[in-house]
Chains A and B, each alone.
Chain A
Amino acid sequence: MSDKLKQIINQQGDQQNVALDQLDDVVQLVGFIIGDEEYAIPILSIQEIIKPFSWTRVPQVPKYVLGVFNLRGAVIPLIDLRAKFGLQTKKQSDETRFIVMRHGDDVAGFVIDRLTMAIRIKKTDIGPAPDTVNGDDTIIDGVGKQADKIITILKVNKLLERDF
Chain B
Amino acid sequence: MDEFQEILQDFLVESFELVEKLDEDLVELENDPEDLELLNGIFRVAHTVKGASSFLNFDVLTHLTHHMEDVLNKARHGDLVLTPDIMDVILESVDLMKALLETIRDTSADAGIDVAACVARLDKITGGDGNVATPESIAPAPEAVAEEEVVEVTPAEDEPDYDNMSPDDLEAEIEKLLQERQAEDKAKREAKIAAGESVLEAPPEPTEESASKAKPEPTPEPTPEPTPAPAASAPVSTASSTPKEDSKAAAPAKRAPAAVEQTIRVDVKRLDHLMNLIGELVLAKNRLIKINDDVEERYEGEEFLEELNQVVSIVSLVTTDLQIAVMKTRMLPIGKVFNKFPRMIRDLSRELNKKIDLVLGGEDTELDKSIVEEIGDPLVHIIRNSCDHGVEMPEDRIAAGKDETGTIELKAYNEGNQIVIQIDDDGKGLDTNMLKNKSLEKGIITEKEADNMSDKEAFGLIFKPGFSTAAAVTSVSGRGVGMDVVKTNIEKLNGMIDIDSELGVGTSMKLKIPLTLAIIQALLVGVQEEHYAIPLASVLETVRISKDEIYTVEGRSVMRLRDEVLSLVHIGDIFEVERILDASEHAYVVVLGLGTSKLGLIVDTLVGQEEIVIKSLGDYLKGIEGVAGATIRGDGGVTLIVDVVALMQMAKDVKATPLSEITSESSANLEKTKASDYTVMIVDDSKTDRTIMRKSLEPMGMTLVEASDGQEALNILKSGEYNFDAMLVDIEMPRMDGYTLATEIKKYNKYKKLPLIAVTSRTGKSDRMRGVESGMVEYITKPYSADYLSSVVQRNVNFKAEFL
A, B from the same assembly = yes
CB pair B637–A58 under 8 Å, yes or no, is no
**A70-B637 contact, Cβ under 8 Å, with A59-B626, A75-B618:** yes
CB pair A57–B530 under 8 Å, yes or no, is yes
Residues in A with CB closer than 8 Å to B639 are: 56
Docked complex Cα distance between A162 and B637 (Å):
24
**A60-B617 contact, Cβ under 8 Å, with A68-B638, A70-B638:** no
Q: How far is the CB of B318 from chain A (nearest CB, A)?
A: 20
Interface residues of B in 599-634 (CB under 8 A from A): 615-621, 624-627, 630, 632
Docked complex Cα distance between A106 and B620 (Å):
8
Docked complex Cα distance between A65 and B526 (Å):
22
Residues in B with CB closer than 8 Å to A67 are: 638
CB pair B719–A68 under 8 Å, yes or no, is no
CB pair A56–B637 under 8 Å, yes or no, is yes
**A56-B638 contact, Cβ under 8 Å, with A61-B624, A73-B632:** yes
0/1 interface trace, chain A 134-164, chain B, CB 8 Å (1 if under): 0000000000000000000000000010100
Output the nearest chain B residue to A60 by Cβ-Cβ distance.
B624
Q: How far is the CB of A55 from chain B (nearest CB, A)?
A: 7
**Per a CB cutoff under 8 Å, which of B575, B615, B618, B719 touches A77?**
B618
CB pair B630–A106 under 8 Å, yes or no, is no
Docked complex Cα distance between A66 and B403 (Å):
65
0/1 interface trace, chain B 639-676, chain A, CB 8 Å (1 if under): 11000000000000000000000000000000000000
Residues in B with CB closer than 8 Å to A107 are: 618
Interface residues of A in 53-91 (CB under 8 A from B): 54-61, 65, 67-70, 73-77, 91
CB pair B626–A75 under 8 Å, yes or no, is no
Interface range for B: 20 to 34
Docked complex Cα distance between A76 and B618 (Å):
7
Instruction: Tell me the total A-B contact number using a CB cutoff of 8 A.
Output: 69
CB pair A65–B621 under 8 Å, yes or no, is yes
B302 interface residue per 8 A CB criterion? no
CB pair B640–A56 under 8 Å, yes or no, is yes
Docked complex Cα distance between A70 and B461 (Å):
42
CB pair B620–A160 under 8 Å, yes or no, is yes
CB pair B620–A75 under 8 Å, yes or no, is no
0/1 interface trace, chain B 695-725, chain A, CB 8 Å (1 if under): 0000000000000000000000001110000
Interface residues of B in 525-563 (CB under 8 A from A): 530
Q: Is the interface of B mostly helix, strand, loop or mixed?
A: loop
CB pair A59–B620 under 8 Å, yes or no, is no
CB pair A59–B575 under 8 Å, yes or no, is yes
B502 interface residue per 8 A CB criterion? no
CB pair A58–B640 under 8 Å, yes or no, is yes
A100 interface residue per 8 A CB criterion? no
A95 interface residue per 8 A CB criterion? no
CB pair B620–A56 under 8 Å, yes or no, is no
CB pair A74–B640 under 8 Å, yes or no, is no
B636 interface residue per 8 A CB criterion? yes
Docked complex Cα distance between A88 and B267 (Å):
52
B283 interface residue per 8 A CB criterion? yes
0/1 interface trace, chain A 45-57, chain B, CB 8 Å (1 if under): 0000000001111
Residues in A with CB closer than 8 Å to B638 are: 55-56, 67-70, 75
CB pair B280–A73 under 8 Å, yes or no, is yes
A105 interface residue per 8 A CB criterion? yes
Q: How far is the CB of A38 from chain B (nearest CB, A)?
A: 25
A40 interface residue per 8 A CB criterion? no
A108 interface residue per 8 A CB criterion? yes
CB pair B283–A73 under 8 Å, yes or no, is yes
Docked complex Cα distance between A61 and B616 (Å):
16
B576 interface residue per 8 A CB criterion? yes
Docked complex Cα distance between A20 and B205 (Å):
84
Docked complex Cα distance between A95 and B632 (Å):
27
Q: How far is the CB of B141 from chain A (nearest CB, A)?
A: 54
CB pair A70–B636 under 8 Å, yes or no, is yes
Docked complex Cα distance between A53 and B272 (Å):
31
CB pair A77–B621 under 8 Å, yes or no, is yes
Docked complex Cα distance between A105 and B638 (Å):
20
0/1 interface trace, chain B 270-308, chain A, CB 8 Å (1 if under): 000000000010010000000000000000000000000
Q: How far is the CB of A80 from chain B (nearest CB, A)?
A: 14
Across the A-B interface, the 4 shortest Cβ-Cβ residue pairs: A59-B575, A56-B638, A75-B630, A77-B620
- Interface residue ranges, A against B (CB under 8 Å): 54-61, 65, 67-70, 73-77, 91, 105-108, 160, 162
A-B pairs with beta carbons under 8 Å apart, 20 shown: A54-B637, A56-B638, A58-B640, A59-B626, A59-B627, A60-B576, A60-B624, A61-B621, A61-B624, A68-B617, A68-B621, A68-B638, A70-B632, A74-B615, A75-B616, A77-B617, A106-B620, A108-B618, A160-B620, A162-B621
